[in-house]
Amino acid sequence: MRKTQISVIGYNEDRCTPIAKKIAYDVGKEIGLSKSVLLCGGLGGVMESACKGAKNVGGLTVGILPQDDFSYANKFCDIVIPTGIGFSRDFIVASSCDGIIIVGGGVGTLTELTVGYMLKKKMVAIIGSGGIAEKYGGKFLDERKRIRIYKTQSPKEAVNKILT
C-alpha cells in the first residue's frame, strides 16, 4: 500500500526565522510519527528543519532539488532527486504529494501553493510562521474557490488535516 506523501513548503535558509525553523521541525516530526513520507525542495531553512524533525522519529524524507547535483541536498534527506530544472521543480514538489503544509515562505512557496491550488491538493498553513502562510491561510486564492487553504497553529493538527 502506498504511503501518504506530504510536502512541506516554506522559507529557504536566507529568510527562515528561528520560529519558522521550530515549527517546521515539529511539522516534520508529526509527519514522521504518522508514517507518511515527507517531501520538500531538499535545501535549507524550512526544508532542512522539517526533514530533521522527521528523521529524528524514524521518518522517511525526499528532497526534490532544483540543481542537478546530489550535493546540494540537506543532510536529512533520505532520497534525493536532483532535477536540474531550477524553479520548475516547485511544480514537482506540489504535484507529487497528497497534501501540502505551508510554513512561512516567499515567492517560491507561493509558486508551489498555486500549483497545489490548481490541482486541488489539501493545503494547511501554519499561522504564526510568517510569510505566505500568514497571508493565505484560511482563504481561497481566487474567485473560483477551488480549495480553501486551511489554517492552524498546530503542526499535529496540520498533519491530521492532510490525513483525513
Which residues pair with residue 82 across a beta bridge?
A: 65
> Mean of the pLDDT values across residues 35-44?
98
Average pLDDT over residues 30-37: 98
**How does residue 101 score in pLDDT terms, banded at 50, 70 and 90?**
very high
Mean model confidence pLDDT for the chain = 98
> What is the helix (H) or strand (E) element at residue 52, kind and residue range?
helix 46-55
CATH number at residue 96: 3.40.50.450
33: which 3 cell numbers?
Answer: 510519527
Which phi and psi angles does 119 have, rounded to 5°? -90, 0
Rg (the chain; Cα; Å): 14
Q: Are 38 and 73 in contact (CB under 8 A)?
A: no
The boundaries of the domain holding residue 150 are: 5-163
158 CB-near residues (< 8 Å, 6+ apart): 27, 30, 101, 124, 126, 150, 152
* Distance from C-alpha of 160 to C-alpha of 19, rounded to nearest angstrom: 21
- pLDDT the model gives residue 93: 98
Per-residue pLDDT, 5: 98
The pLDDT confidence band at residue 46, using thresholds 50, 70 and 90, is very high
pLDDT of residue 102: 98
- pLDDT at res. 128: 97
Q: What is the pLDDT of residues 108-133, one digit of tens each?
A: 999 999 999 999 999 999 999 999 99
Number of domains present in the structure of the chain: 1
Q: What is the pLDDT of residue 81?
A: 98
82 membership: H or E segment, kind and range: strand 79-82
Q: What are the beta bridge partners of residue 100?
A: 7, 123
Task: Provide the pLDDT confidence category of residue 104 given band limits of 50, 70 and 90.
Answer: very high
Q: Is the pTM higher than 0.95? A: yes
How does residue 90 score in pLDDT terms, banded at 50, 70 and 90? very high
